[in-house]
Amino acid sequence: MKRMQRIIAIMLALLMLTGVCAAAEPQISEAGLAMMGVLVPESDLAGETVEESPEEIEDWKLLLVNPWNKLPENYTVTLKRLANGLQVDERIYDDLNAMLTDCWKAGLHPVVCSAYRPHATQVRLHNNKIARLRWAGYSYEAAVKEAGRWVAVPGTSEHETGMALDIVSYSYQLLNEQQENTAEQKWFMEHCWEYGFILRYPKDKTEVTGIGYEPWHYRYVGREHAAKLYESGLCLEEYITALEDPTETAEGTVEAFVEEDSGVPVAPSEK
């Protein structure tokens, strides 16, 4: 047992030295995961609580992927490559490029450290998170549950859509709450909606989104929807609920954005 612990400790130490954002998500090989007894078969990752979306969402920009809504099995995306080699849905490329360009023009230095992830990559990240929690003393069941709060269960990750990005400051590239204090994140939180993006997992919406606060994770929803989300203070789950049934959303948050008769959001007042 001690020998196994030494091996795993060495693996983690080496992996902590690699790559952008790697300090927050060091990678362990499948061999290492199997050695630790925490490698989860892909068929078991989704669990019984994950359900596929019952029908396709008409507006592709509002595709809801979260712990309770799995990415449709027939989902496909056409990708476009960024300058650093990462890829995004080609439909969001122009708005993303405009946002990053304007951020640079403001004298800041943003870095896109994660964008589209193939399903296999999400499986590896999720397994790795479970492994590190097991190493920290969590039981297997507790590790699986806690891992899902920080690394989406494969099939429920927005990164698999090509519409989500992790953006950090060049001067501070760790994926933790201190990211919110960087000048880059302050700029994005104030301006991302102008380009069709939202901060997907706000600090005060963790119970609704099912994901912990991530002041680096941005999701494309289109400029029209982003403006309404920004103005209303809703998260994506609440916004979609308001579109489907305004009465289901918390009182006082939707009235100015959803027409009473049609249930269609109206343009917010300009700030």
Instruction: Please give the angle made by the CA atoms of 6, 134 and 115, to the nearest 5 degrees.
Output: 100
Query: How is residue 225 written in tokens?
Result: 């929807």
Is 214 a catalytic site residue?
A: yes
Distance CA 97, CA 92 (A): 9
Instruction: Please give the angle made by the CA atoms of 117, 120 and 126, to the nearest 5 degrees.
Output: 85
Helix (H) / strand (E) containing 229: helix 223-232
Buried b (16+ CB within 10 A) or exposed e, 120-153: ebbbbbbbbbbbbbbbeebeeeebbebbbebbbb
Query: How is residue 55 written in tokens?
Result: 């029908």
At 219 the three-state DSSP class reads strand
At 75 the three-state DSSP class reads coil
- The active-site residue out of 184, 214, 244, 255 is 214
**CB 70, CB 63: distance < 8 Å:** no
Helix (H) / strand (E) containing 114: strand 110-114
115 phi and psi, to 5 degrees? Answer: -140, -120
Q: Which residues are catalytic?
A: 214
